[in-house]
Amino acid sequence: MTDFAIAPPRSQSRAVRIGLRWLLYVILGLFALYYLLPLFVMITTSLKSLEEIRTGDLMALPREVTFDAWKTAWSGACTGIQCDGVKPYFWNSVLIAVPAVLISTLIGAMNGYVVAHWHFRGANIFFALMLFGCFIPFQVVLLPMARVLGLMGIAGTIPGLIFVHVIYGIGFTTLFFRNYYVTIPSELSKAAKVDGAGFLRIFWSIFLPLSLPIIVVSIIWQFTQIWNDFLFGVSFSQAGTQPITVALNNIVNSTTGVKEYNVDMAAAIIAALPTLLVYIVAGKYFIRGLTAGSVKG
């Protein structure tokens, strides 16, 4: 006589699946709380007075919420062209990031289009060199870039910083767009060529309208890299053109007077808000765009 295994009741197996799912949720929740704890401390500290910070508990909620530290971190006090607050440096970062992101994304789109669909002699070598540029450490290009900026007459200026970030970002944006464009059938460009469309016409009318997912990826990537950059900002800027990361470093490392931890925390949150908001608003599109070109090429 053959023995048959008795399957567990369906209700029991369903209960086990639900229990495992809730266990997974609890574990993920604990990890999320662990990684969000520093942000919680930063926010609560920025809303406390200095007296409460000295005498109170670091993890405790503020007894009395005050936004004085935020006002000081944003406006501060200015003497000549130097300011204690991050306001002018915040707008410097905006003036640097927005043009650099747009220019590097457009050039990367055109490069990716050429490498993916206009097969010319040396195309693979060209792409390999562009890809190699993505892995060159920042420190290696400091002296050559400083020399180039000096010869161009834009050293220590916002256009100079825009130029630096465009040059360093082209390799990444070219890689993004090339991997995305190889998934677009070449028959589209061939048919357009038969109809008499040229290089720019095909790019603007066919490829660019199909590029929204990878454009979002390029914008988010470049904006994050440029906004959070410190090395290029401190190396190629001067008083009045420094980005917010340099200003934040100056505020946090200031040794004059009483150390205002609430102002430091408020300034750090202000500096981090733009990239945080970008990922909150468009984070899911970033993931979709990265995986859009992963099937082919």
Express each pLDDT in 241-292 by its tens digit: 999 999 888 887 775 667 788 888 999 999 999 998 888 887 777 777 666 6
Domain-ending residue, one of 66, 92, 113: 66
Which one is predicted more confidently, 290 or 219?
Answer: 219
- Do 100 and 241 share a structural domain? yes
d(CA 99, CA 165): 10
Instruction: Name the more confident of 245 and 7.
Output: 245
β-pairing, 82-83 with 78-79? Answer: antiparallel
DSSP letters, 219-280, are: HHHHHHHHHT--HHHHHS--TTT--HHHHHHHHHT--SSS--HHHHHHHHHHHHHHHHHHHH
Check residue 279 and report its DSSP letter.
H
Same structural domain for residues 111 and 224?
Answer: yes
In a domain, 5, yes or no: no
Tell me: pLDDT of 26 over 80.
Answer: yes
Whether residues 52 and 87 share a domain: the answer is no
Residue 79 backbone phi and psi in degrees, to 5? -130, 110
Residues 56 and 149 in one domain: no
Let me know whether 88 and 29 are in one domain. no
Q: What is the pLDDT of residues 179-202, one digit of tens each?
A: 898 888 878 878 888 878 787 888
Domain count, the chain: 2
183: in domain: yes
More confident: 59 or 103:
103
Based on the fold, state whether residues 155 and 267 are members of the same structural domain: yes
Kindly state the average pLDDT of the residues 233-248.
90
Which residue is listed with tokens 């990361």? 245
DSSP string, 122-176: THHHHHHHHHHHTTS-GGGGHHHHHHHHHHHT-TTSHHHHHHHHHHHHHHHHHHH
The answer to whether the beta carbons of residues 262 and 69 sit under 8 Å apart is yes
pLDDT at position 84, please? Answer: 67
pLDDT at 96 over 60: yes
pLDDT for residue 123: 76
pLDDT number for residue 1: 47
With respect to residue 78, please indicate whether it lies within any of the assigned structural domains.
no
Residue range 75-79: average pLDDT? 63
The C-alpha atoms of residue 214 and residue 34 are separated, in whole angstroms, by: 32
CB 264 within 8 A of CB 252: yes
For 10, list phi and psi in degrees, rounded to 5: -60, -40
Share of the chain above pLDDT 70, in %: 89
Give the other-Cβ count within 10 Å of 191's Cβ.
Answer: 13
Domain end residue (candidates: 38, 66, 94): 66
**pLDDT confidence band for 18 (50 / 70 / 90):** confident
Q: What is the pLDDT of residue 6?
A: 56
Say what the pLDDT of residue 81 is: 46
Query: Do residues 107 and 247 share a domain?
Result: yes
Q: Which one, of 75, 45, 39, 74, lies nearest residue 62 by Cα?
A: 45
Give residue 3's pLDDT.
53
Q: Is the pLDDT of residue 107 over 90?
A: yes
User: Which pLDDT score, from 0 to 100, does residue 257 have?
Assistant: 62
Is the residue at 56 inside a domain?
yes
Asked whether residue 38 falls in the same domain as residue 141, the answer is no
Same domain for 32 and 131? no
* pLDDT per residue as tens digits for the range 148-182: 999 999 999 999 999 999 999 998 999 899 889 88
Q: Quick one: 93 and 209 in the same domain?
A: yes
Give the pLDDT mean for 90-96. Answer: 95
Classified as helix, coil or strand, 83 is strand
Q: Are residues 31 and 167 in the same domain?
A: no
Q: What is the CATH number of the domain that holds 156?
A: 1.10.3720.10
Task: Choose between 164 and 11: higher pLDDT.
Answer: 164
Regarding whether 259 and 156 lie in a shared domain, the answer is yes
Residue 1 lies in a domain: no
> Rounded mean pLDDT of 34-61?
88
Question: For residue 297, is it within any domain?
Answer: no
Q: Provide the residue range defining the domain that includes 245.
A: 83-292
In a domain, 263, yes or no: yes
Average pLDDT, the chain: 84
* Model pLDDT, residue 243: 94
Establish if 255 belongs to a structural domain: yes
